[in-house]
Structure 1
């Protein structure tokens, strides 16, 4: 792999590793600390896409996927209070969500790359983040997919509660998903600042 991609590879690996660690620590009622680091994966992918192109971005995505798989394998061997830190459903949901959302982000960004500088990162991140959230939380916690891992009791995630504590009644996992999605969208907007600064710097270096 081209050594010029190394900063992107290391950044993606760091984001995925940090997110897998921080997801174990709660932030309020609906989030974990990992929710604030994981969206940076979209920033890394978009910067690589802008500077080096589609193939480079995809390579970085696959590296992130492999790091995530490694973290999941390690997590399945670590026992927490209620069983393994990473269950089969969480591992499958995480892997599918990451790979699908990131590759979609790459494709959408490439389609929009000739528009205004902000269009590609905004729309690719919003759509990618939405797909990521929908896939992960439904695969990991939806009661309709219990057959994926019958021995894993996720009934707690199906408890009917007011959405985010004040909205219409919905399964708990829906509140977790909505909160996570909201953070992803907010960070996608904030990430426009470092995206602009980093791409200006690296594009100038490449040129």
Structure 2
């Protein structure tokens, strides 16, 4: 006797109540994290950047989108996050290139903006590469595991996808962004990678119960998801 696996259920983006809000929140988190990451931060023996405390939210939002709305929605969110990052860089480039008022105060502001926003293009490049690699692998693990186990094992999906996605994202991001924040040795780079991965993974693991409840609430509130479960 053979058993068939129930196809994975996802909510439709058409008429979705929450997808646009989740996507908007993800894009905002990415842009703010990129700006914050242009500052190197020393916390005791730990080397990190100014965006470290916020960026895990991007992966939590990505998990919610992948679990509730499926692989196409996940790809859409990755493309949107990448596009918003590029738009931010182009905006900063135009702002820095525009002529100032020509006085000493304007010159001081220009220097401050160049110091703060000048490295952002490298941070965004690092973030975009890391985000595409990490979120793609994160979404792939979520979708593949859901296809195999259905609605069961949500916590396991969240933890497995986080481990894979955050490791690849952190490795790529730190390798490209290191020089932009002043990292100049292999020891600092290793510190940067290790802390980034452990911190982001720990935050997401600690928030798995909360993420699971949020996912459950969104599933219940999306009519198309409830309809899919009844088929």
1:102 aligns with 2:128: no
Rate the CA distance shift 1:70–1:155 in 2: closer, same or farther, 3 A.
Answer: closer
SS of corresponding position for 2:120? coil
Indicate conservation of the 8 Å contact 1:75/1:85, yes or no: no
Distance in 1 (alpha carbons) for counterparts of 2:181 and 2:195 = 20
Partner of 1:80: 115
Alpha-carbon offset, residue 71 of structure 1? 2.5
Answering whether residue 145 of structure 2 is matched by residue 112 of structure 1, we say yes
Q: Secondary structure at the match of 1:157?
A: coil
The answer to whether the Cα contact below 8 Å between 1:61 and 1:102 also exists between their aligned partners in 2 is: yes
User: C-alpha displacement at 1:44, in angstroms?
Assistant: 0.7
Contact map agreement 1:126 1:188 (CA 8 A) in 2 = no
Of residues 37, 47, 58, the one that matches 2:64 is 47
State the 1:31 CA deviation. 2.2
How far is 1:122 from its partner? 0.6
Residue 14, structure 1, aligned to residue 9, structure 2: no
> Unpaired segments of 5 or more residues in structure 1?
142-152, 160-169
Q: Within 5 A, what are the aligned runs for 1:145-164?
A: 157-159=183-185
Pairing of 1:114-133 with structure 2 (within 5 A): 114=149, 115-133=152-170
Which consecutive residues of structure 2, in runs of 5 or more, have no partner in the other structure? 1-12, 97-112, 227-231
How has the CA–CA distance of structure 1 residues 27 and 71 changed in structure 2, closer, same or farther, with 3 Å as cutoff? farther
TM-score (norm 2): 0.70
Question: Residues of 2 paired with 1:27 and 1:205: CA distance?
Answer: 43
Query: Which one of the candidate residues 170, 193, 205 is aligned to 1:177?
Result: 193
**Does the 8 Å contact 1:101/1:131 carry over to 2?**
yes
CA contact (8 A) 1:93 1:140 kept: yes
Tell whether the 8 Å contact from 1:35 to 1:180 is kept in structure 2 after alignment: yes
Query: What is the match of residue 50 of structure 2?
Result: 33
C-alpha RMSD over aligned residues: 2.4
Matched residues in 2 for 1:112 and 1:44: separation?
18
Q: Does 1:191 align with 2:211?
A: no
Q: Distance in 2 between matches of 1:180 and 1:69?
A: 23
Which residue number corresponds to residue 67 of structure 1? 84
TM-score relative to the length of structure 1: 0.78
Tell me: CA distance 1:24–1:3, structure 2 relative to 1, closer, same or farther (3 Å): farther
Q: CA deviation at 1:154?
A: 6.7
Aligned to 1:202: 218
**Secondary structure, aligned partner of 1:70:** helix
